[in-house]
Amino acid sequence: MVNSHRHEGDTAVTANTSGDIAFAPMAMPLVSGPGAIGVVIGLSSKASGWPDYFGSLVGIALVGGVLYLCLMLGEPLLKRLGRAGTRALNQILGFLILAIALQFMVDGLRELLR
């Protein structure tokens, strides 16, 4: 229910009073999406024996542990940062993603023009 209402008598009361009705489950598609599956396929295609598979498995487990910590500590961190700190962090991370995207484009154009 994105915009639920409770009826008390004849008056409808909106359950969400903050005005933000967005629901964005962004963690799961980014964590277990096509990129993660592609990395697993790439690692397994370069593996030549059981030690390589075991190393890949250890790496996946370590990334999973770090991801778990990030997701568990994310809410307390956001509460500590507050609204302005969260907005500033979003802008900084957005700029970082923009810089990475531009670097990908520059690298691709260099390869194309060679």
pLDDT digits (tens, 9 = 90+) for 32-74: 777 778 888 888 888 888 888 898 888 888 888 888 998 899 8
CA-to-CA distance for 72 and 86, rounded, in angstroms? 17
The pTM (predicted TM-score) of the whole model is: 0.52
With respect to residue 19, please indicate whether it lies within any of the assigned structural domains: no
pLDDT band (50, 70, 90) for residue 21: low
100 lies in some domain: yes
| Domain of 109, in residue numbers | 26-113
* Residue 74, in any domain of the structure: yes
Residue 3 placed within a domain: no
| Amino acid letter for position 45 | S
User: Is residue 20 included in any domain, yes or no?
Assistant: no
Rounded distance between C-alpha atoms, residue 46 and residue 43, angstroms: 5
In the chain, the number of structural domains is: 1
Q: Residue 55: inside a domain, yes or no? A: yes
